[in-house]
Structure 1
Amino acid sequence: MPASAHSPAPTAPVPVLIIGSGPTGLTLACDLARRSVGVRIIDKSPGFPRSSRAKGPNPRSLEVLEDLGVVDRVLASGSAPLPMRKYRDGLPVAETDPFASSRPTPDVPYDRGALIAQWQLEAILRERLAEYGVRVELGSEAVGLSQGSGSVTVALADGRSIEARYAVGCDGAHSPVRKMLGVAFEGQTSEEQTMVCGDVEADGLDRGVWHQWFDEDGAVMLCPIPGTRSGWWFQAGPERDAAGAPVPPSLESFRRLFAKHTRLPADHLSKAALLSTYRVNERMADRYRVGRVLLAGDAAHVHSVAGGLGMNTGIQDAFNLGWKLARVAGGRSGERLLDTYEEERLPVASWTLDITADRLRATLEAIRRPGGGLDSAVSADTSCLGTGYRWSSLSATGSTSRLRAGDRAPDAPCHDTATGAPVRLFEAFAGPHFTLLGFGPGTAGALRAAEAAYGDTVRAYGVDAGAPRDLTDDAGHARTAYGVGPATALLVLVRPDNHVALIAPATESGAIGAYLDGLGTPA
């Protein structure tokens, strides 16, 4: 029977549906939207939550946010990490700044993270997403999921459904998407290592430091929330009842804990909100992809807060997945490319569980000593600048004295050869394209050929190469960062997520085409 003239025309599936609008989901949505991939992002909440537990992006996440075009807004809304003032028996005993000796370098522009409430970061990402014409659809709770040969259908609690070619669960540690997929979430939860958390209003405290009171029988930590006049992050070891169970957080219990450990009047605290009890939870999904549905962020892994890697690992999951999903959804690569998301990010999650457990042990040992504090949770590893994918099937052969395929591609300040204007390599990388760097005059022909063959997919830059888009490495920072000698002609292909795809001599320029043509095809 022909369709009625009044029947609605069938709609094509949206290319990508993102479930969950926290930092992970928003990062992925921004990355897809700037690649002109049709995307919808839904969230079950009726309004945008004012969550601020995550204290901000680390150096690697700041690099991601720069690529997305929002890092200036983030830095303007937040603050640099604060010195930590430690107390014992209510008295200050030490003050430390974990980043006192660190400085930006030509290859690492962000030597420290930023302090910013999670709700502020989410607002910035939503604003960026709206610039592409995409908005979060609130009050849309996913309750069912079914997959066909060419699409996935997500049923909503209000009776509607959304059909998409691919769906990504960015819906947190209790992820309904993960549960609907039947993906195991193995690990452990510690009932002993417990904190109560919340946002409070407080007066009478220096807002230039992160206050940490540690005693033999508990602790209270107060960190000022940037962008607020009197808002603070409150964390403490919980009160316990006669049976030893944690007392549920409340303004009254926070005041008792505050007065006990700080020896200050309890009424310094007011307006406690976003109350929660946090238990150290170390779990990881055993798969990141089931057919046309993928998992990212806390839906795929949770771990100790030590080192501040929770939100950051999710942001970096999304940045790894975005370009791959865009290529597959756009028909430019086969679906095997999506398998490399799990191949690359699942080992990173495993490493993250290990490093955060190690940092937690170090912190718990440190706070037993007067002067010890949360600075013990900070290490070079927690910056995530060393995270790479050398083991990946996407990491072709090739290396220099400083880099191997799979490593993070360093930044470096250069100058536009034609105009003399300063140009950083990160500015060259920013956007949805691969970047081909050619070091030395012998690479100019390969750079021209790559752009001619691959159009918008590849943007080619010469480094003292005499190429049409040429950069002058007058201080030698680019060659130093990439380990390229002054007389060497070398090609470096950088992925859209700013990791090195391959390194090849100029005489082997055919490796560039072979790599790009092979993306997503069986090995």
Structure 2
Amino acid sequence: MDTQVLIIGAGPTGLTLALDLARRGVGFRIVDASPAPFAGSRGKGLQPRSMEVFHDLGVIENVLAAGRFHLTMRAYDGREVLREWDVHEGRHPTVERPYASTMLIPQFRVEQILRDALPAGTVEYGTPLTSFFQDDDGVTAVIGSQTVRAKYLVGCDGGKSFVRKRLGVQFVGETHEDQRMLVGDVRVSGLDRDHWHSWGGRADQWLALCPLPGTELFQFQASGVGEPSLELYRQIVRERTGLDDVVVHDATWMSLYRTNIRMVDRFRVGRVFLAGDAAHVHSPAGAQGMNTGIQDAYNLGWKLAMETLLDSYEAERKPVAQWLLGMTTAIMMSGNPFERRGDETLQLSLSYRTEDGPGLRAGDRMPDGITDQGRIFDLLRGPGFVTLDLPDGPVLVRPDGYVAAIGRSAIDAYFGANPVTQLHHHRVAAGAAA
């Protein structure tokens, strides 16, 4: 084998998987057809659960330094402010939920932070996948001008995924041709950077300009059709704001978004896996796409290292994708995509439970807390399983921060069924969690 895992696509999903495999000592290559890193914002909302993932991966400090919480929404009629509100009002960090609300951070900055955490030159740009086939022992792929042999291949190559199409996996769902949105990253004068600005009482006259933290850019979002161009964006801003002093100067990225609501019928075919937008696309409402891809990768990484639980990847992530499509569609169809949303959008309540019941159960996210040994999330940080000896009994936590088993007999049964010869099993004696 030339490598253990071949990752196709270097967006947030592929980079998260690469970083997770790197800390496990699993050999991988990550390639991307684009000649350079993606330069647009596209996704710009990072959910609390993704921040918890980045805490474990050791990049949370850089992420928090590059983003912003609680940006106030402001709706206008021309220059008149009609309303101000905070979508996440009242959501503040707690001991169990240290990251309590969605953070604004452009996708290109998330990618940069993940990329910088890898050794320089790890991502091979300008290296398209042009063919692959698999057999019982591995996958043979042609990337660029090379033929590579890998034990597994993971398609993280977006909504137009070559991997998915080559596999012949169905992308089930629908395209809403009547729901289109012009998006882009623009430089604008005449607006402050302390509000997310919006105009337009009708859906077909809607415009929003959101400052992107850590940059001089605003993300432009507007209902409309036509080929994206600087002149079109300037025209929309002039007409919908009615203001002469709000001026679009230039754009670093522009795109026309069509609403697609689709997901695959399979996340795995033999030794090939699909993750992120290659497996599910949906309405942008609720800021879920980038986050769900990050968590697809986080669920898959430790299983690729362990190899004995790979079938559980689809079993756990497919229901999440189904829920995601329904939830984001409901938000979009509500007509109020910027209103306060339920906690489900924070992705902290997502669970892999196989049984119902009150309290913490196997399959639930392990909450943070303070013990006499330190912070739980810091005790869990790292690539291995962790046993927390809590006052109510021992809890075995999986490498992705979800509870594997509760109680000594259940933990022994888990390890009996799932040998962890490739992962470290740590025992942490912890006092009462706060």
Indicate whether the TM-score tops 0.5: yes
Per-residue deviation, 1:160: 1.8
Pick the structure with more strand per residue: 2
* Paired position in structure 2 for 1:380: 343
Q: Does residue 495 of the first structure (1) align with residue 398 of the second (2)?
A: yes
> What TM-score, normalized by structure 2, do the two folds share?
0.93
1:348 to 2:332 alignment: no
| Distance (whole Å) between structure 2 residues aligned to residue 123 and residue 439 of structure 1 | 38
Query: Corresponding residue for 1:99?
Result: 88
Whole-angstrom distance in 1 between the partners of 2:420 and 2:361: 20
Greater RCO (Cα-Cα under 8 Å, separation 6 or more)? 2
Q: CA RMSD, aligned part only? A: 1.9
- What's 2:298 paired with? 319
Measure, in 2, the Cα distance between the counterparts of 1:31 and 1:134.
Answer: 17
Distance 1:91 1:163, change over 3 A: same
Distance in 2 of aligned mates of 1:215 and 1:507: 60
* Contact 1:58–1:114, Cα closer than 8 Å, also in 2: yes
One-letter amino acid of the counterpart of residue 107, structure 1? E
Q: Which residue of 2 aligns with 1:510?
A: 412
Partners of 1:107 and 1:136 in 2: CA distance = 35
Structure-2 residue corresponding to 1:226: 213
Partner of 2:192: helix, strand, or coil?
Answer: coil
1:447 is matched with which residue?
A: none
Seen in structure 2, the aligned counterparts of structure 1 residues 266 and 182 have a Cα distance that, compared at 3 Å, is: farther
Which residue among 310, 315, 335 is the counterpart of 1:338?
310
The CA distance in 2 between the partners of 1:247 and 1:517, in whole Å, is 56
Paired amino acid for 1:281: N
For 2:363, give the aligned amino acid: G
8 Å Cα contact 1:39-1:134 kept in structure 2: no
Aligned length: 421
- Find the aligned partners of 1:190 and 1:143 in 2 and give their Cα distance: 30
Give the fraction of aligned pairs with identical amino acids, expressed as a percent. 47
Alignment equivalent of 2:264, drawn from 285, 290, 305: 285
Deviation of the 1:89 alpha carbon = 5.0
Q: Deviation at 1:148?
A: 2.0
TM-score when scaled to structure 1?
0.77
Q: 1:511 to 1:491 in 2, by over 3 A?
A: farther
> What code does the residue aligned with 1:375 have?
E
Shift of 1:340: 0.5
- Give the 3 Å change call, closer, same or farther, for CA 143–81 of structure 1 in structure 2: farther
Residue 153 of structure 2: aligned partner: 167
Structure 2 contact 62–113 (Cα < 8 Å) conserved? yes
Alpha-carbon distance in 2 for matches of 1:212, 1:125: 31
- Contact kept in structure 1, 2:8 and 2:154, CA below 8 Å: yes
- Among 77, 96, 100, the alignment partner of 1:111 is 100
The alpha carbon displacement at 1:215 in A equals: 2.6
Q: Which runs of 5+ in 2 are unaligned?
A: 423-434
Q: 1:153 aligns with which of 140, 162, 169?
A: 140
> 1:415 offset after TM fit, Å?
2.8
Aligned-pair distance for 1:401?
4.3
Q: Which range moved further: 246-255 or 118-127?
A: 246-255
Displacement after TM superposition at 1:57 (Å): 1.5
The alpha-carbon deviation at position 519 of structure 1 amounts to 10
Q: In the alignment, which residue of structure 2 is the partner of 1:47?
A: 36
Q: Secondary structure in 2 aligned to 1:355?
A: helix
2:257 is matched by which residue type in structure 1?
A: Y
Q: Which runs of 5+ in 1 are unaligned?
A: 1-11, 239-245, 367-372, 392-396, 417-422, 441-483, 485-489
Partners of 1:325 and 1:169 in 2: CA distance = 14
Report the Cα distance in structure 2 between the residues aligned to 1:42 and 1:508, rounded to whole angstroms: 41
Q: Which residue of 1 aligns with 2:177?
A: 191
Residue number among 227, 236, 240 corresponding to 2:222 in the alignment: 236
What SS is found at the alignment partner of 2:104?
coil
Match of 2:165 among 170, 173, 179: 179
- How many angstroms apart in 1 are the aligned matches of 2:39 and 2:15? 15
Deviation sequence 1:469-504 (CA, Å, 0-9, x none) = xxxxxxxxxxxxxxx4xxxxx121110001011112
Equivalent-residue separation in structure 1 for 2:163 and 2:294 (angstroms): 18
Which one-letter code corresponds to 2:41 in the other structure? S
Secondary structure of the residue aligned to 1:179 is helix
